[in-house]
Chain A
Amino acid sequence: MAVVQQAYAQWSWPLGAVAADPQLNFFENMVGRDGVSQRAYSMGTLSVHLVNIPLSISFNYPVFLMSFGSNALSNWIGDVQMGLYSMTGSTLSLANSANAAINVSTNGISWVSLVTSATQNISPGNWYFAANILTSGVLPHTSASFFANSSINPGNADPSALMRGRMTASTNAMPASIATSDLDITGSDSNRQPYIILTA
């Protein structure tokens, strides 16, 4: 990274030439984890939210911040899934994905690291992160929750271009494409996004 920065600082390019693209070591969808707190999550209900990637970053280590509750009878067993989507028209298309199969016996707040399905360098611009959490195994399960934003529970749909939403149908995998008409964009849960940090 330092080599890249040094080269970037020392390189003077002619007017009109394309500047070298700096590479980030990390990107957070909620800067400094500001505004996040522990939130329950509906299993199998995929949520999406818009992010602006300011500089390039490798899609290498997506990390979620989760909390696992206390229950001496069982571990929490499940999957945490993430999708990286691009938007064309009114359709989200899956560009990449990541997954973590987890079996947690430790109570408390944990970083959950996902394994990406393919190497990719994410270019600057608008992208959509999708998150889904599934549980399996033998009941009773301990509880699991994301760290995510709060919401005022608006009574009408977000009038912006798609910012956040969640699928109305349950799913156990990241769909290859999602029509925005299949997303609920009204209410508290639809305006919620889990904290995600990407690191190179």
Chain B
Amino acid sequence: MPQLSFAMNFYHMPSQFLSVISSGTIHFWAFNLYDSISFNTVNMQFRAGAAGEGKAETYSLGLYSFTGSTLTLINSISRSSSWAAGDNRKYVSMTATSATSNLTPGTWYWGLLISHTATSNVNNPPRVGGRQHGAMVNAFPGMFIGGDMTASTSALPASVATSDLDITGQAEMCVPLIILSG
């Protein structure tokens, strides 16, 4: 089985910044991996919510597997980052994995939690680069591919029942860009 040096969930860079992922909630989305890759570095794109200067966040990204109707946390990666003067849009490179692992081909799920470490962020949270469309009026009818936690949390949960996730609407079904670098 070939070993990839990178993997993305788009064929090219999407050009949208998505609806706000509020502090203390988690957005989940599905990810197909076609060959193995080491879980070392994950890069994502963010835009400052307003004037970014001096604001700081911690980005926590959970890697989940899915069985039945439950997401189970397999691994995680995180990064604390501040917006320097003049920053507006940037990559954030997450490198702090909780454990070394090699991801195998198949479908995995990401859960993104953004925690504000400065009170000035609360009313102007950052936006994530990716793709979204108009608000769907009904819940996604197939197997789980993404959704938002309705309850607030301060940490990535070890398991999540998909019945606790909102799977209707634009922000709920958005697809953030993920770049895995092995």
Binds A, one of B42-50, B77-85, B103-111, B119-127: B103-111
Contact A109 B65 (CB under 8 A): no
Known: A32-B130, A32-B175. A109 touches B106 (CB 8 A): no
CB within 8 A of B145: which of A4, A107, A197? A197
A110 to B173: give the CA distance in the assembly, Å: 12
What CA separation (Å) do A199 and B34 show in the bound complex? 16
Distance in Å: Cβ of B174 to nearest Cβ of chain A: 9
Q: Are A19 and B130 in contact (CB under 8 A)?
A: no
Nearest neighbor of A68 in chain B, beta-carbon distance:
B137
Q: Is the CB of A22 within 8 A of B135?
A: no
A23-B10 contact, Cβ under 8 Å, with A63-B140, A110-B138, A111-B136: no
Question: Quick check: A24 and B106 within 8 Å, CB to CB?
Answer: yes
Tell whether A111 pairs with B141 under 8 Å between CB atoms, given A1-B65, A24-B32, A54-B34.
yes
- Residues of B within 8 Å of A39, CB to CB, are none
Residues of B within 8 A of A111 (CB): 136, 138-142
Contact B32 A27 (CB under 8 A): yes
What total of chain B residues lie within 8 Å of the partner, measured CB to CB?
34
Query: Which residues in window 1-15 of B have CB below 8 A to A?
Result: 1, 9-12, 14
Residue B131 is within 8 A (CB to CB) of chain A in the complex: yes
Residue of chain B at shortest CB distance from A62 = B142
Q: What separation, in Å, do the CA atoms of A92 and B14 have in the docked complex?
A: 33
Interface residues of A in 13-63 (CB under 8 A from B): 19, 22-27, 31-34, 36, 38, 54-55, 60-61, 63
Complex-state Cα separation, A111 to B138, whole angstroms: 7
Q: Least Cβ distance of A173 to chain B in Å?
A: 23
B167 CB to nearest chain A CB (Å): 10
Q: How far is the CB of B47 from chain A (nearest CB, A)?
A: 18
Residues A55 and B65 in contact in the complex (CB < 8 Å), given A9-B104, A26-B143: no
* Contact of A32 with B135 in the complex, beta carbons under 8 Å: no
What is the CA–CA distance of A98 and B11 in the complex, to the nearest angstrom? 28
Contacts of B152 in A (CB 8 A): none
User: Does any Cβ of A come within 8 Å of B30's Cβ?
Assistant: yes
Interchain nearest-CB distance for A168 vs B (Å): 31
Chain B residues within CB distance 8 Å of chain A: 1, 9-12, 14, 30, 32, 34, 65-67, 72, 102, 104-107, 130-131, 133-145, 175
User: Given known contacts A111-B138, A111-B142, what 16 new A-B pairs fall within 8 Å (CB)?
Assistant: A2-B65, A2-B67, A3-B67, A8-B105, A22-B104, A24-B107, A26-B142, A32-B10, A32-B131, A55-B32, A60-B142, A63-B140, A107-B137, A109-B136, A111-B140, A111-B141
- A-side interface residues toward B, CB under 8 Å? 1-5, 8-9, 19, 22-27, 31-34, 36, 38, 54-55, 60-61, 63, 65, 67, 106-111, 113, 147, 197-200
24 of the cross-chain contacts (CB-CB < 8 Å) are A1-B106, A1-B107, A8-B104, A23-B106, A24-B106, A25-B66, A25-B106, A25-B143, A26-B142, A31-B11, A32-B10, A32-B131, A34-B10, A54-B34, A55-B105, A55-B106, A60-B142, A61-B143, A106-B138, A108-B134, A110-B137, A147-B133, A199-B143, A199-B145
